[in-house]
Structure 1
């Protein structure tokens, strides 16, 4: 069995990409050999030294978890923080850009006023920057305490005025970053 260009999974714009790559390789290796039959798995990669790949090859779940948790701790990703993705979308790219900047600026202002411990990253183009004809920008929020995240989102929603052509959606503790 072979996994072609595993780097596509490994370099996906999501903090869980290494976890998903490890899971994929572990699952493929489990399917390659069943019972008394041993199978072989071939992996094509430009990153043969990546811990997710090496841990999957060695069937080392503990080693993978140790490295992954270290990575997430250094960058303050879950389980060491809580995340929210604020998505600003609309049919007009310039209007979406303007609304996303206004939303991020309002969040920064609310953060200062309320003394919240939240990192505000963005706005930036969403990984799928156009979806179903709508332009999309994302603002990523990181907070150690979920309450800070919720307060920032609530106060921003209550004070923010956007054009009716702009849609604002919020995904708290997102499963993926798309």
Structure 2
């Protein structure tokens, strides 16, 4: 499918305020159920819905990787929307998030959230790196101070991921917030 119809579907979903199911053209990538809250030239920002039908943070995904974004092909979309409404959960757009460039996205999300989960699904769909971003090197590599699953901080920043390899960034979800609550702010790197 060309990106024109997908962009049109994403804009329609944002205007309607209804959830969509987003599938991407990456082998092994998660399907995302969410509300579209922002669309840029390079990235789309989604307010994510957890499997337990709660709003659960935000996912930024590359526009070019999306192969389908629909509520009509997702039988549970109406029930999901009603359940969230009955629970008093409302979609919250994020102001000031740069969705036009990867560097801008990382910078604006770092200002708004203490941690981010960074995915490089085309390189390895089973791994995400969680931590605090400390900018981008001249060689366009993300400087990330990682926090492990036991909420233990690395003492140095890694620069293994190029910005071109980043396919998704999550912020503000329950797991990432729990890591920050237990691990606190990172030591200087």
TM bracket, shorter-chain basis: under 0.3
Q: Which has the larger radius of gyration?
A: 1
Q: Which has the higher helix share?
A: 1
Q: Which has the higher strand share?
A: 2
Structure with the larger RCO, 1 or 2 (CA within 8 Å, 6+ apart): 1
Compute the TM-score of the two structures, normalised by the length of structure 1. Answer: 0.27
